[in-house]
């Protein structure tokens, strides 16, 4: 019988050259819009602003960018950190001069709620593709998961990026190889898991709270954890709950933005 658990993250020339470079706005100096406040239609946002948006499942990150652009009328709008289409949660969009600060936001730690399913792997390491292999999982216990987390998935670790990703390899995106059934060699990369906790465990499913560095693939974390537990696993659901000091519960939902600007596009 599986247990069910609940637990509750004088200048030299170089200096002169740096002084001539355009400065990027400080994040604390930028207005932040979200669930509790949106700019009035027609507001001038070219000076820079951050929009906290709760991305729905099924939307790409660029779908959200296009949606917001059409309503605020600022062509220079971009997102600061991709979420996969099936994932939900916090997506930060930058407008105008705030796009110069995108890298600052991307460097912030990110927190996720991850639903992991044991017993099967998928080519994409998540639920976007059907299972390609199965393995027994009845031996896995909550205590074993905690031990594996503590010993193998905490602090600085190395990950091999998934084939279904937008990273470049020999002039092509990795997903372009994956869609043709090809697997190419990828170098591992160092990432950091600042904090990871098992929130719940029942039968073939577990929920993790993960605070991690830039560049972390949570679906790869799920895949690798399955291997470490002596079975297979894939990511069955993902929600980004925070990016640095910004939280998903502060983010505006798509329906709220659509209603506020009352413009179909």
> Among candidates 33, 41, 39, 51, which has minimal Cα distance to 261?
41
Distance CA 113, CA 154 (A): 16
Can you name the residues that pair with 189 across neighbouring β-strands? 159
Distance CA 103, CA 170 (A): 25
Helix axes 142-152, 218-228, angle to 10 degrees: 110
DSSP 86-131: T-EEEEEEEEGGGGGGHHHHHTS-EEEEEEEEESEE-TTSBTTS--
Distance CA 264, CA 257 (A): 11
List, in sequence order, every beta strand (DSSP E) within the chain: 5-6, 32-33, 49-55, 77-79, 88-95, 110-118, 120-121, 133-134, 155-159, 168-169, 172-173, 189-202, 205-212, 233-243, 246-247, 252-253
What is the Cβ-side half-sphere exposure of residue 37, based on CA atoms within 13 angstroms?
A: 7
Q: CA geometry: angle at 58 spanning 119 and 188, to 5°?
A: 55
Residue in 20, 44, 84, 224 annotated catalytic: 84
Q: Is 236 a catalytic residue?
A: no
Can you name the residues that pair with 94 across neighbouring β-strands? 50, 78
Residue numbers annotated as active site? 84
């Amino acid at each position: 019988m599986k247990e069910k658990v609940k637990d509750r993250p004088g200048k030299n020339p170089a200096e002169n050259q740096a002084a001539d470079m355009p400065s990027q706005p400080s994040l604390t100096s930028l207005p932040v819009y979200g669930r509790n406040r949106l700019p009035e239609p027609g507001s001038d946002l070219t000076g820079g602003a951050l929009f906290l948006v709760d991305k729905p499942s099924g939307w790409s990150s660029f779908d959200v960018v296009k949606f917001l652009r059409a309503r605020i009328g600022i062509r220079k709008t971009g997102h600061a950190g991709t979420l996969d289409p099936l994932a939900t949660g916090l997506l930060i969009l930058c407008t105008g001069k705030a796009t110069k600060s995108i890298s600052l936001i991307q460097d912030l730690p990110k927190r996720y709620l991850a639903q992991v399913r044991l017993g099967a792997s998928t080519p994409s390491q998540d639920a976007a593709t059907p299972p390609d292999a199965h393995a027994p999982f009845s031996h896995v216990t909550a205590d074993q998961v905690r031990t594996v987390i503590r010993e193998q998935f905490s602090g600085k670790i190395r990950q091999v990026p998934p084939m279904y990703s937008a990273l470049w390899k020999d002039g092509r995106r990795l997903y372009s190889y994956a869609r043709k059934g090809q697997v190419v060699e990828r170098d591992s990369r160092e990432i950091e898991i600042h904090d990871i906790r098992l929130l719940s465990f029942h039968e073939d499913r577990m929920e993790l709270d993960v605070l991690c560095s830039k560049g972390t693939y949570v679906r790869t974390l799920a895949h690798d954890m399955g291997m470490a537990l002596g079975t297979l696993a894939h990511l069955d659901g993902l929600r980004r709950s925070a990016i640095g000091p910004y939280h998903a519960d502060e983010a505006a939902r798509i329906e709220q933005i659509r209603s506020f600007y009352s413009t179909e596009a």
